[in-house]
């Protein structure tokens, strides 16, 4: 697993639950106290041990923990801004979500995100299929899709459907006012 992904998991656990809990999780999983280096690659087994240690320490199901990670990632303004470039509304965003792995590979060639396939059998029904890859990506993306629905002000039901599928049912595109977004960076405005 790429170090950026592991570092994101580490940042989520530290920022959300505190450095002391991160230290306990790192020790239980066999990670050094300093954590992960962003540009290195780690064995998937180490990432799995961190996820399992965190789920155990928090008494939380693995999928729920990973969905929370996805929600946390959207709270990071640089990533949120990159995601918002996917479209002017939630439907536009969903229709381009399968392009995210390729966009990520433009920035970090060996990031390791799985290929995504979006299926939209109805205008308000979307299914995101995950090609080969770590099974933890689906719950993380479920969290991202939930958080982005809120960000756009849409009302959507987002559910995991197995290890490699996320279903989205869009109930209302303009349910609430979404978070403000402008192409210009906030400090440039």
pTM over 0.85: yes
Q: What angle do CA 74, 135, 120 make, to 5 degrees?
A: 65
Confidence of residue 189 (pLDDT cuts 50, 70, 90): very low
Fold of 79-172: H-NOX domain (3.90.1520)
Domain boundaries, the chain: 3-60, 79-172
User: pLDDT for 108-158, tens place per residue?
Assistant: 888 888 999 999 989 899 999 998 778 899 999 999 999 999 999 999 999
User: pLDDT for 82-111, tens place per residue?
Assistant: 898 888 999 999 999 999 999 888 888 888
Q: By C-alpha distance, which of 119, 113, 130, 117 is closest to 164?
A: 130
Q: Residue 187 pLDDT more than 70?
A: no
């Amino acid at each position: 697993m790429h170090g950026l992904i592991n570092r994101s998991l580490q940042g989520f656990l530290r920022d959300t639950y505190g450095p002391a809990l991160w230290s306990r999780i790192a020790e239980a999983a066999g990670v050094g106290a300093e954590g992960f280096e962003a540009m290195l690659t780690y064995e998937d087994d180490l990432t799995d041990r961190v996820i399992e240690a965190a789920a155990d320490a928090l008494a939380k199901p693995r999928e729920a923990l990973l969905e929370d990670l996805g929600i946390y990632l959207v709270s990071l303004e640089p990533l949120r801004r990159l995601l918002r470039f996917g479209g002017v509304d939630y439907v536009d965003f969903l229709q381009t979500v399968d392009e995210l792995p390729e966009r990520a590979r433009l920035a970090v060639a060996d990031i390791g995100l799985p290929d995504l396939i979006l299926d939209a059998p109805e205008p308000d029904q979307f299914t995101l299929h995950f090609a080969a890859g770590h099974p933890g990506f689906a719950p993380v993306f479920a969290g991202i899709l939930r958080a982005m629905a809120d960000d756009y002000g849409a009302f959507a039901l987002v559910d995991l459907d197995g290890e490699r599928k996320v279903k989205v049912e869009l109930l209302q595109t303009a349910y609430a006012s979404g978070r403000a977004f402008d192409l210009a960076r906030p400090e440039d405005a």
